[in-house]
Amino acid sequence: MSDPRQDLLAAEHAAVWLFATLGGRVSRSAAPDLADALTRAHQMHRARRDQLTAELSAEDAEPVPAEAGYVLPNEARTTVQLAAAALEVESRCTAIYSAAVARTSGAGRARAVRALVDSAVRQLTFGGVPAPLPGA
Amino acid sequence: MALLPAALLSAGCEWGPDDSGPTVVSPPAGTPAVDSDVTVVEQAVAALSAAHATVSVGPGRKRARAQFLVLHETHLEHLGEAVPAPAADLTTATDATGWRSVVRTERDLQDTLASLAGAADSGALAQTLAAMAAGTAQLLASHTAGPADV
């Protein structure tokens, strides 16, 4: 069975790239709240990516590399499209964290639970609505 | 009551010991350890039922309270538990103190569900409990955007 942290790292690579791309397209003057939310999301996913990479490297495991690029969920041209794309990216992360909860134990699971809760709440900043079981 | 663990067994979900470190959980060869997860489910049901009783009474923010009550009921149903009857409203709290109590209760519930997710032997049960914690956090966040709410 593969290390679930590699799946998380692959997802974080994608999230970092996608949120950076979306953040580069948003107008900070026209949509300041969305711009701030994209910046925060990018920073959070980058921190998680770096933590996972460092952790795996410290164990002499080879961290899964980032792809050269990722496919945006939509055209991501308008503010509405950008928010929808961001919500889709964050929702995918929520699902990945949820799967990681099932595949880990101990400290790894505790971290996955924290990431799941954080990601679920972040969905709201991109127009998501509360769900009974986010990510499940 | 233990409908969820039984369902997990029949679904052939992943089981494994809870240890420290981010290790992969491998299904053991023998019979899964159901007993500890039955306890986990019982604790989750108790926490949800207690929160349900607290949130169902008190003045003000009726729409928000109703949303939390529906969420509790959905989560209890996922755990194979009957939904408790609504409690009689006997409180004399003001709107503000009543709402603060709701927020405190839901935060405690979120923490409890997250902690129980960590304690579950079954990966599937852990996933469900973690999703419940996330759902509680989402609804809380949607109602506590302003500092006056907390």
ipTM here: 0.94
Position B120, amino acid = A
Comparing A28-37, B45-54, B76-85, the range with the smallest average pLDDT is: B76-85
- Decide if B22 and A104 are in contact by the 8 Å CB cutoff: yes
Express the helix, strand and coil content of chain B in percent, nearest 5 each. Answer: 65, 0, 35
Contact B48, B76 (CB under 8 A): yes
Does any CB of chain B come closer than 8 Å to the CB of residue A48? no
The pLDDT of residue A104 is 95
Q: Give A-chain residues touching B142 at CB under 8 angstroms.
A: 124, 129-130
Phi/psi zone of residue A109: left (φ > 0), alpha (ψ -120 to 50 degrees), beta? alpha
Residues in chain B: 150
Residues of B with CB under 8 A from a CB of A: 13-14, 16-26, 67, 71, 74-75, 78, 110, 114, 117-118, 123-124, 126-128, 130-135, 137-139, 141-142
Q: Which H helix or E strand runs over B106? A: helix B95-119
pLDDT at B8 over 60: no
High-pLDDT (> 90) share of chain B, % = 51
Mean per-residue pLDDT for B12-32?
A: 42
pLDDT on residue B98: 83
Q: Check if A63 contacts B (Cβ < 8 Å).
A: no
Residue B26 has pLDDT above 60, yes or no: no
Q: How many A-B residue pairs are in contact by the CB < 8 A criterion?
A: 125
Q: Please give the residue that has the higher pLDDT: either B144 or A48.
A: A48
Instruction: Kindly determine whether residue A105 and residue B127, on different chains, have CB atoms separated by under 8 Å.
Output: no
Computed on alpha carbons and rounded to an integer, the radius of gyration of chain B in Å comes to 17
Assess A54–B contact: CB distance below 8 Å, yes or no: no
Contact yes or no for A101 and B127 at CB 8 A: yes
pLDDT at B9 (0 to 100): 36
For residue A5, which residues of chain B lie inside 8 Å, CB to CB?
A: 22
> What is the nearest CA distance from A118 to chain B, expressed in angstroms?
8
| Most A-contacting residue of B25, B75, B79 (CB-CB within 10 A), to test interface | B25
Q: How confident is the model at residue B97 (pLDDT cuts 50, 70, 90)?
A: low
Q: A43: which residues sit within 8 A by CB, 6+ positions away?
A: none
Which region among A17-21, A89-93, B18-22, B59-63 has the lowest average model confidence (pLDDT)?
B18-22
Asked if the model's pLDDT at residue B36 lies above 50, the reply is: yes
Structure-model confidence comparison of residues A41 and B83, the more confident one:
A41
The model's confidence at residue B60, banded by pLDDT at 50, 70 and 90, is: confident
Contacts of B128 in chain A (CB under 8 A): 133, 136
Taking phi over 0 as left and psi of -120 to 50 as alpha, with beta for the rest, B21 belongs to left
Give the distance from residue B78's alpha carbon to the nearest chain A alpha carbon, in angstroms.
10
| CB proximity A125 to B under 8 Å | no
Q: Which residue type is seen at A116?
A: L
Mean pLDDT rounded to a whole number for chain B:
77
- pLDDT at residue B49 tops 70: yes
B128 pLDDT more than 50: yes
Residue A123 CA to its chain's centroid (Å): 10
Nearest to A102 among B17, B123, B135 (CB): B123
Tokens of residue B67, six digits:
């949303």
Each residue's pLDDT expressed in tens, for chain A with a length of 136 residues? 689 999 999 999 999 999 999 999 999 999 999 999 999 999 999 999 999 999 999 999 999 999 999 999 999 999 999 999 999 999 999 999 999 999 999 999 999 999 999 999 999 999 999 999 999 8
Answer yes or no: do B23 and A113 touch at CB < 8 A: no
State the pLDDT at residue B124: 96
- How much is the pLDDT for B96? 65
Q: Which residue has the tokens 């209890």?
A: B76
Which of A85-94, B12-21, B122-131 is the least confident region? B12-21
What spatial distance separates the first Cα and last Cα of chain B, rounded to whole Å?
35
Average pLDDT estimate for B6-34: 42
Q: Which helix (H) or strand (E) holds B79?
A: none
Q: Which of A70-79, B31-40, B41-50, B67-76 has the lowest mean pLDDT?
A: B31-40
Range list of H helices, B1-61: 3-11, 34-55
- How high is the pLDDT of residue B81? 78
Distance in angstroms (rounded) separating the CA atoms of residues B9 and B31: 9
